[in-house]
A and B are shown apart, each in its own frame.
Chain A
Amino acid sequence: MKMSIREAINLTLHEEMARDSRVVVMGEDVASGQGGVYGVTAGLTEKFGVARVIDTPITESAIVGAAGGAALTGLRPVAELMFIDFLGVCLDQLLNQIAKFRYMFGGQARTPLVIRTMIGAGEGTGPQHSQILYPMLAAIPGIKVVVPSNAADAKGLLAEAIRQDDPVVFCEHKALYMNECEVPEGDYVIPFGKARTVVAGTDITLCGLSRMAVLAEQAAVELAAEGISAEVIDPRTLSPLDEESILASVSKTGRLVVVDESNPLCSMASEIAGMVAEFGFDYLDAPVQRVTAPHTPVPATPCLEKEYVPSVADIVRSAKKALEY
């Protein structure tokens, strides 16, 4: 069935809440109004009631911390951190509490928690509502980080996130919500740590994260028009990261462009480039190219925001640079 990412997430929440009565949804505006800013949780209250679809005050530390405490004691909460930028007001609960429960309690704890959060620029939402920030989270042991780029992956990865037993941050790119694709019906679960080959190719690997996987696919089309065969890889989860698939692709193509909407310092692009430099050095015929946002905040003005976000042209340019090396 063809549906958007927004619809696929909404459907999966309905299915998982029906499947397991311990699944609760909590956050700001999840129950009332239209079901969040983009209506992702619409209809859940009517179906499952306010005991399981819980509107909270604007209180991110309490939302994240209480979701963690609830997960520790028997619920399977899906908490919404409206924008990932709001990590700034609740990071302790994730960094020092939830991420460490299992380890610091010697394996006694299970924390089956999903934090759904919106990431990314492209909607003119400015410096405090448009960041990526997932590299910060992927750097924290004990948390898994998921970055779906299409509706089918969103469904399968969210189902897995809700059913597995570790804390997961599920990053929804707001500029992708309306993107549609075919979504498998019924039970559909994608294991973490398995990259998807978006396009098979032989000349160069384009590894794109979240929305950048979509742009990388568009770049592959442009490159194909020039007779260049690009392979596009979408890791889909950043922690765990499917290093094996990335290395396997690079062993075939000899060239790699990593496309990441993060700021460049300590980005996932840097992590993947470093990983390939260390473990795939013999495969490389050219330096790894990183395409990222610049080391600036996200500007509100659409004309500068357009400059900020990596473009298809940036990806094509970097691919050619690697090919011409």
Chain B
Amino acid sequence: MDYSLDELTRAYRLMKTIREFEERIRSEYQQGKLPGFIHMYRNQEAIAVGACLDMTNDDYIASTHRGHGHCIAKGCELEGMMLELACKQDGLCNGKGGSMHIADMTKGMLGANAIVGGGPPIAAGAALTAKTLKTGGVSMAFIGDGASDQGTVAEALNLAVVLQLPMIFMYENNFYAEFTRNPKPEGRIAERAGAFGMPSIVVDGSDFYAVHAACREAIERGRNGGGPTAIEAVSARYYGHFEGDPQDYRDGAELRAQRAAGDPLPRFLEDPRTAALNANSIADIDSAVFAELDRTVELALAAADPTPDKLYTDVYVDYEGRAMQ
């Protein structure tokens, strides 16, 4: 498959943005400047970007608790994201969602999800909309290896097959379900999804080109009425389950080896297919990414909190929530 310079530029810019976004918010979080829980996506960048590169705003994704990378890959603006992670009024969700529930309907990003396995039924519904209204859109659920054991995921797999929905089950197998190593061998998740009656494939999640090729095929299948696809992208979780988890349960030597071997950025840059992206343009992208992060962090930390009356807004469309009477 040939890649245009525009595609290579977008792929690199998005992966680099995710990488540096995560490093920056991790640093801000450690300084106590961001509330709640955050879950780092480092080293899984090629999965989000490879998965979403061919999507438009009429395609949908349902994300997970580890969702910042999915947001960026799907086109969410850093400013709105940064404001939301800081839980400010002008954030994507007016500060009411935060990191674990961030969403952007204008981009077809149907929400991060703090319930493991919560997203796939919702993504199936978005696929049903695309099919019923004949929009040509597809819907993708991101699913961790931990979530792969949830009943909701099995129900969504089955429904997608029965209704032949334009849907992609994008598994990200980083081998850790929170603090517990998932005992399933590589490929078992794809095998299980395939048993529902859909094509399934295992790809190297640190190889952008492998992820993108698999997703391009799955998206085309969905757009052409060919039904759902499952993809198991194999990766290694770089940081802990949530930020602040010291990962004492992991073997240090193994973790260091996985971190180096699983880094998708050098792998992308060293690939001959990336040659058209020259050193100058990479440097330009890098400096633009850092500048945008500086700008948005500064803006988000200084931005206004929601006023107390906002507690009651947006519970229902036609009336507000309330304290009592």
What's the least CB distance linking B135 to chain A, in Å? 8
Most buried by B among A65, A96, A165: A65
Is A269 engaged at the interface, CB distance under 8 Å to the other chain? no
What's the least CB distance linking B156 to chain A, in Å? 6
The interface residues of chain A lying within 8 Å CB-to-CB of B296 are none
Per-position 1/0 for B77-94, Cβ under 8 A of A: 000000000000001111
Is B314 engaged at the interface, CB distance under 8 Å to the other chain? yes
What's the least CB distance linking A76 to chain B, in Å? 10
Stretch at the interface among B34-42, B119-127, B209-217, B256-264: B119-127
The interface residues of chain A lying within 8 Å CB-to-CB of B163 are 54, 56
Roughly how many angstroms separate A200 CA and B92 CA in the complex, as a whole number? 50
The interface residues of chain A lying within 8 Å CB-to-CB of B9 are none
Roughly how many angstroms separate A150 CA and B167 CA in the complex, as a whole number? 41
Most buried by B among A22, A59, A104, A144: A104
Q: Which residue of B is nearest A24, CB measured?
A: B132
103-144 of chain B: CB within 8 A of chain A: 103-106, 110-111, 113-115, 118, 120-130, 132-133, 139
Is B158 engaged at the interface, CB distance under 8 Å to the other chain? yes
B97 touches A71 (CB 8 A): no
Is B316 engaged at the interface, CB distance under 8 Å to the other chain? yes
Q: Choose from B110, B120, B129, B314 the contact partner of A75 (Cβ within 8 Å).
A: B129
Query: Given contacts A59-B159, A66-B121, is CB(A74)–CB(B152) below 8 Å?
Result: no
| Chain B residues with a Cβ closer than 8 Å to the other chain, count | 52
Query: Given contacts A92-B115, A93-B152, is CB(A62)–CB(B96) below 8 Å?
Result: no
The interface residues of chain B lying within 8 Å CB-to-CB of A185 are none
Most buried by B among A61, A106, A144: A106
The interface residues of chain B lying within 8 Å CB-to-CB of A66 are 121-122, 124-125, 128, 156, 159
What's the least CB distance linking A92 to chain B, in Å? 6
Is A107 engaged at the interface, CB distance under 8 Å to the other chain? yes
B126 touches A69 (CB 8 A): yes
Q: Choose from A64, A73, A107, A243 the contact partner of B129 (Cβ within 8 Å).
A: A73
Q: Which residue of A is nearest B106, CB measured?
A: A108
Query: Given contacts A97-B118, A105-B103, A141-B321, is CB(A72)–CB(B152) below 8 Å?
Result: no
Q: Which residue of A is nearest B135, CB measured?
A: A74
Is A109 engaged at the interface, CB distance under 8 Å to the other chain? yes
Roughly how many angstroms separate A101 CA and B325 CA in the complex, as a whole number? 24
The interface residues of chain A lying within 8 Å CB-to-CB of B244 are none
Q: Choose from A51, A64, A75 the contact partner of B121 (Cβ within 8 Å).
A: A64
The interface residues of chain A lying within 8 Å CB-to-CB of B132 are 24, 51-52, 70, 75
B105 touches A96 (CB 8 A): no
A62 touches B124 (CB 8 A): yes
Q: Which residue of A is nearest B91, CB measured?
A: A106
Is B178 engaged at the interface, CB distance under 8 Å to the other chain? no
Roughly how many angstroms separate A109 CA and B106 CA in the complex, as a whole number? 10
Is B281 engaged at the interface, CB distance under 8 Å to the other chain? no
Q: Which residue of B is nearest A144, CB measured?
A: B316
Q: Choose from A24, A61, A166 the contact partner of B151 (Cβ within 8 Å).
A: A61
Q: Which residue of B is nearest A279, CB measured?
A: B325
A103 touches B158 (CB 8 A): no
The interface residues of chain B lying within 8 Å CB-to-CB of A72 are 105, 110, 122, 125-126
Roughly how many angstroms separate A67 CA and B319 CA in the complex, as a whole number? 23
What's the least CB distance linking B88 to chain A, in Å? 11
A56 touches B159 (CB 8 A): yes
The interface residues of chain A lying within 8 Å CB-to-CB of B155 are 59, 61-62, 65
Most buried by A among B125, B133, B163: B125
Is A226 engaged at the interface, CB distance under 8 Å to the other chain? no
Q: Choose from A52, A65, A96, A108 the contact partner of B156 (Cβ within 8 Å).
A: A65
The interface residues of chain A lying within 8 Å CB-to-CB of B123 are 69
Is B228 engaged at the interface, CB distance under 8 Å to the other chain? no
The interface residues of chain B lying within 8 Å CB-to-CB of A65 are 118, 120-122, 124-125, 152, 155-156
Roughly how many angstroms separate A165 CA and B317 CA in the complex, as a whole number? 6
A142 touches B316 (CB 8 A): yes
Roughly how many angstroms separate A275 CA and B325 CA in the complex, as a whole number? 9
The interface residues of chain A lying within 8 Å CB-to-CB of B97 are 104-106
A73 touches B316 (CB 8 A): no
Is B241 engaged at the interface, CB distance under 8 Å to the other chain? no
A278 touches B325 (CB 8 A): yes
What's the least CB distance linking A205 to chain B, in Å? 19
What's the least CB distance linking B267 to chain A, in Å? 34
B60 touches A73 (CB 8 A): yes
Is B162 engaged at the interface, CB distance under 8 Å to the other chain? yes
Per-position 1/0 for A36-65, Cβ under 8 A of B: 000000000000000110101101011111
- Given A59-B158, A65-B120, A103-B321, list of 14 further CB < 8 A pairs? A64-B121, A65-B124, A66-B124, A66-B128, A68-B121, A69-B62, A69-B121, A69-B123, A71-B125, A75-B125, A75-B129, A102-B314, A105-B92, A166-B316
Which 5 pairs of residues, A with B, have the shortest CB-CB distance? A69-B125, A65-B121, A106-B94, A106-B93, A69-B122
Identify 12 residue pairs between A and B in the complex whose beta-carbon atoms are under 8 Å apart, listed by A's number: A65-B155, A69-B125, A69-B139, A70-B128, A72-B105, A96-B114, A102-B315, A103-B314, A104-B101, A105-B93, A243-B325, A278-B324
